[in-house]
Amino acid sequence: MSTLKRAPWPLVALGGLGAAVFVVPLAGLASKVPWGNLAELVTSPVVVDALKLSLITSLSAASISLLLGVPLAWLLARVEFPGRSVLRAVVTLPMVLPPVVGGAALLFALGRRGLVGAPIYETTGLLLPFSGWGVVVANVFVAMPFLVITVEGALSGIDPRYEAAAASLGASRLTVFRRITVPMIAPSLRAGVVLAWARALGEFGATITFAGNLQGRTQTLPLAVFIALESDRDAAVAMSLVLVAVSLVVLVALRDRWWGR
């Protein structure tokens, strides 16, 4: 007898309804795809530019999140210091904060007249808003928390005796972290990177608020979809399909390898 037949029917029914929450919208999107001229739509200059920018900025954001997020997760998981719970709350705040509010906060902090942006601009002439780097900064702000909480959870759950054994044999703290800690949290680390990348790829609110919506410069694919919904519905559906396809292919291909059973 299959596991499904032995499962309690209320759980099966509710689980099916839960799955429908995700399946039905995607089916609705697929039903509106203009299959006849899909190739022409997805190869238009607007879509190609937006997709290229989305991939570059989301991969850059995932890389920066990895570089900064792992040490931050280690700090939150392993070091006792005053205000740690407050810092953890601040780090995870972008996960629940409206993206537009996050974009406004970035603008007030890093804009030409912002708290940090003003002295940077006066000293170096660097202006982050309405630039490609502004898109990356917005993506990092909303995506890195996903990596941090994933890695922090893994660090909190591993057995510290392995690290202690390596340290007792003379390994430095950095060597222990590199040779013992990182391999032990590798599946969670990879999962966190993928989650951060996926969140950055789909980012909209903080990007349009902080970096604007300039084609070929700051217009990512989600922003292009938003504009196309008002002027060209078929193009909007085609671009949405590209986003879904790219994200789904990556997540499905990596799930068994990185998450495993």
Give how many domains the chain has, as a whole number. Answer: 1
Assess if residue 15 is contained within a domain. Answer: no
Model pTM above 0.75: yes
pLDDT at 171: 86
Assess if residue 146 is contained within a domain. Answer: yes
Assess if residue 78 is contained within a domain. Answer: yes
Assess if residue 24 is contained within a domain. Answer: no
Question: pLDDT truncated to tens, each residue of the chain (261 aa)?
Answer: 466 667 788 888 899 999 999 999 999 999 999 988 888 988 889 889 999 999 999 999 999 999 999 999 999 998 899 999 999 999 999 999 999 999 999 999 999 899 999 998 999 988 899 999 999 999 999 999 999 999 999 998 888 888 888 888 888 888 888 888 999 999 899 989 999 999 999 999 999 999 999 888 999 999 999 999 888 889 999 999 989 988 888 777 766 555 554
Assess if residue 206 is contained within a domain. Answer: yes
| Domain enclosing residue 176, as ranges | 38-259
Assess if residue 188 is contained within a domain. Answer: yes
Quote the DSSP letter at residue 93.
G
Exposed / middle / buried, residue 257 (Cβ in 10 Å: 0-12, 13-18, 19+): exposed
CATH number of the domain at 158, please: 1.10.3720.10
pLDDT at 261: 45
Exposed / middle / buried, residue 104 (Cβ in 10 Å: 0-12, 13-18, 19+): middle
Assess if residue 129 is contained within a domain. Answer: yes
Which residue blocks in the chain are alpha helix, DSSP H? 3-6, 9-31, 38-42, 45-78, 84-92, 99-110, 117-124, 132-157, 160-168, 173-176, 182-184, 186-201, 205-210, 221-231, 233-254
Assess if residue 253 is contained within a domain. Answer: yes
Cα–Cα distance measured from residue 98 to residue 213, given in angstroms and rounded to the nearest whole number? 18
Q: Count Cβ atoms below 10 Å from residue 207 Cβ, excluding itself.
A: 30
